[in-house]
Amino acid sequence: MRPVALFVVVLLPVFVFAQPNKLPKSKHHFIVVAHRGDHTQAPENTLMAYKNAIKNGVDYVEIDLRTTKDSQLVIMHDATLLRMTGVNAKVKDCMYDSLIHIPVRDTNHPEWGSQPLPSFDEVLQLCKGKINIYLDFKSASVQQAYQAIVAHKMEQHVVVYINEPQQFIDWRRIAPKMPLMISLPRKVTSKAMMDSVLTKYPIDILDGNYTEYTLETVQAAKEQQVPIWADIQSKDEDKNWQAAVALGIDGLQTDHPKALIDFLKKYRKR
């Protein structure tokens, strides 16, 4: 998840004077984001994966938003259906009524069974009053997505991860109070460089792999009150939790949310 290299250059002329937006409320100081839901016992990006995250006390579920041929908003990480359904077709080329009958499954864990491909409305309804949403904005209309968020009264419970400069521009125009997140620009390795980025550009939250951060850049972000929710998701990520937390970052996006929460509790970080 990394925007194009010229991301901040494009944003500067339009938003140089913007102020950071208020983030959704959370019960915890250290944020745990379930990458594509808690898919340790269910296929990723399904309602069951999100229910598991809710049950385990996760702060946010990360979901991937795409659009069908008939302009319906659905959740699927890949542009194609092949990996998660076995159907060799692109989401954007399928009608919604056909998609909802295609089962989503994890080929590495057939014992988990299959789940329906969820719509954005279904996810908003499920999460309302239970968990916040980290919306990875893959391919959709900002106006349509925001209307759905407002319709479910979830505008105070969503942050949006931006993949392209135009998405940032459209979100700021249509929903100026929505918290927006981008990955750490490449080669930001010192406090001075981080200070420069955060002074000039309207970043509400920083993402990016935890290995891209240093004690210096984390401290600079804290001084500017911009939280860092770093990526750490991987099969053996538990080997790196201690090092990531030691940096002083504000949260982690994980493939093992329950185990991470147990780790944080053990070290009194949650």
The predicted-structure confidence for 6-65, as pLDDT tens digits, reads as follows: 455 455 445 544 567 999 999 999 999 999 999 999 999 999 999 999 999 999 999 999
Q: What is the bridge-based pairing of β-strands 60-67 and 73-75?
A: antiparallel
Give the whole-angstrom CA distance, residue 15 versus residue 255: 34
pLDDT of residue 200: 82
Question: Is pLDDT of 221 > 50?
Answer: yes
What's the mean pLDDT in 74-97? 98
What's the mean pLDDT in 223-236? 96
Topology classification of domain 7-61+121-266? TIM Barrel (3.20.20)
Domain ranges of the chain: 7-61+121-266
pLDDT tens digits along 194-215: 999 898 888 899 999 999 999 9
pTM over 0.85: yes
Question: Is pLDDT of 176 > 90?
Answer: yes
Question: Is pLDDT of 5 > 70?
Answer: no
From the list 60, 46, 35, 34, the residue with the least C-alpha distance to 106 is 46
Higher-pLDDT residue of 172, 11: 172
pLDDT of residue 20: 77
| 3-7, 164-168, 182-186: least confidently modelled range | 3-7
Angle (CA) 60 61 62, round 5°:
115
Question: Is pLDDT of 233 > 70?
Answer: yes
pLDDT of residue 11: 56
- The residues near 254 (Cβ < 8 Å, ≥ 6 apart) are 32, 33, 34, 35, 232, 233, 237, 260
- In a 10 Å sphere around its CB, with 0-12 CB exposed, 13-18 middle and 19+ buried, how is residue 194 labelled? buried
What's the mean pLDDT in 116-145? 98
What's the mean pLDDT in 113-134? 98
Angle, helices 47-55 vs 120-127, to 10°: value is 20
- Chain mean pLDDT for the chain: 93
